[in-house]
Amino acid sequence: MGSIDAAVLGSEKKSNPGKATILALGKAFPHQLVMQEYLVDGYFKTTKCDDPELKQKLTRLCKTTTVKTRYVVMSEEILKKYPELAIEGGSTVTQRLDICNDAVTEMAVEASRACIKNWGRSISDITHVVYVSSSEARLPGGDLYLAKGLGLSPDTHRVLLYFVGCSGGVAGLRVAKDIAENNPGSRVLLATSETTIIGFKPPSVDRPYDLVGVALFGDGAGAMIIGSDPDPICEKPLFELHTAIQNFLPETEKTIDGRLTEQGINFKLSRELPQIIEDNVENFCKKLIGKAGLAHKNYNQMFWAVHPGGPAILNRIEKRLNLSPEKLSPSRRALMDYGNASSNSIVYVLEYMWEESKKVRNMNEEENEWGLILAFGPGVTFEGIIARNLDV
């Protein structure tokens, strides 16, 4: 394969004028840390289920996910207050939303404060907010409660993205990029926040696919500050966001299916999802790279920040694109440490990528300046951004 045409996009480690950059990252988690090795016994004890076949299936799933630890909002205190959450068939959407609405706001505020601290500028310099969640439903939305919790100016412009699923973090980044590049001097806070309580249910033979979520998904929040033309005195950009695109695959809307019901959100993930992503990811990457104006490509000379939807998805992407194993290391680390945290995950992946970039630089090894940020969500929707590592 060819190499990146640096002449097209420049090779200086300064951001291009007018191009959006990620200026800071932040994250936050609930207090409950779940070790994967203890999850099965705890889950079946909590839900008072003694089905040996379901327990065996969940045990197998927990081993194949590669997840080691996760954070969750669910706790013994919550189940004592709301025991109906662990009972099959009850109308519990009101209770779930009461818990979720408060939890996602608390985590989003904490992640945003961490991000703003890393950024180093005043909170009053934030001009826009993009808020992403698939774990709440209310009017006004979580964007307003985040702004209120942070004490942002009433003049702050807000955008709300609800129920975008696992592609939400990159979708939010695409929207924040557009805002930053079309509003000179703006600084955009992107916050994502998710909890699985909205879909927590006892195991059921009628819903075997629920066990995939039990074995895979985690809770938490993420945040980024995005802006163009960084101030060289007080801002240190991490990544430049060069080109962003979104595509959906026709006739795949049932592949990731979620419905808000009286029992909370019911999710169905088709077994064909990893194959669908494998079959379409290369064409999507070619389209993205082409739109960015890259004359040539060598996937192994680029970095890859990929949403860790699960090991099967990562394995198939690695195989289809013939990537070296280390290329998806940040994604696999995020999956291992936090599970699939939906829209939050891309923040954790980018943070691990930045950490690994620093290690490589300290060892005087060559780094990849250009790369792709990818995520996949309901639709099936592909989100992608050509990015540039400015910290190399």
Fold matches, 20-228 and 239-389:
yes
From first to last of its 392 residues, the chain has per-residue pLDDT tens of 333 444 344 444 788 999 999 999 999 999 999 999 999 999 999 998 889 999 999 999 999 999 999 999 999 999 999 999 998 888 999 999 999 999 999 999 999 999 999 999 999 999 999 999 999 999 999 999 999 999 999 999 999 999 999 999 999 999 999 999 999 999 999 999 999 999 999 998 888 888 999 999 999 999 999 999 999 999 999 999 999 999 999 999 999 998 888 988 888 888 999 999 999 999 999 999 999 887 667 899 999 999 999 999 999 999 999 999 999 999 999 999 999 999 999 999 999 999 888 777 666 566 788 999 999 999 999 999 999 999 75
| Nearest alpha carbon to residue 211 among 381, 377, 49 | 49
Matching residue, tokens 């076949």: 53
pLDDT at 366: 67
pLDDT of 189: 98
Catalytic residue among 62, 115, 166, 285: 166
- How far is residue 369 from each of residues 11, 118, 334, measured CA to CA in Å? 8, 22, 21
pLDDT (0 to 100) of residue 9 = 44
**Thinking of the domain 20-228, which architecture would CATH place it in?**
3-Layer(aba) Sandwich (3.40)
Q: Please say whether the beta carbons of 147 and 207 come within 8 A.
A: no
One-letter amino acid at 3 equals S
Q: Are 220 and 27 in contact (CB under 8 A)?
A: yes
Q: What are phi and psi of 62, to 5 degrees?
A: -60, -30
Nearest residue to 212 via CA among 82, 58, 97 = 58
Burial call 322-348: b when 16+ CB within 10 Å, e when fewer? ebeeebbebbbbbbbbbbbbbbbbbbb
Query: Using CA of residue 15, residue 24, residue 330, residue 276, what is the dihedral sign?
Result: negative
Map out the domains of the chain as residue ranges: 20-228, 239-389
Cβ-in-10-Å burial (0-12, 13-18, 19+) of 154 comes to exposed
- Looking at residue 364, its pLDDT comes to 59
Contact 239, 82 (CB under 8 A): no
Q: Any catalytic annotation for residue 234?
A: no
> Residue 73 contacts by C-beta under 8 Å, 6 or more apart in sequence?
30, 32, 99, 100, 103, 195, 196, 197, 219
CA distances from 306 to 135, 153, 201, 333 (A): 22, 34, 29, 11
pLDDT at position 379: 92
pLDDT given at position 4: 40
Residue at 199: amino acid letter? G
How high is the pLDDT of residue 392? 58
pLDDT at 209: 81
What is the C-alpha to C-alpha distance for residues 372 and 242, in angstroms, rounded to an integer?
10
The pLDDT, as a whole number, for residue 2 is 33
What is the second-level CATH architecture of the domain 239-389? 3-Layer(aba) Sandwich (3.40)
Segment holding 369, helix H or strand E:
none
Q: Count Cα neighbours of 15 within 13 Å in the Cβ-side half-sphere.
A: 25
**Orientation of helix 168-182 relative to helix 345-362, angle to 10°:** 80
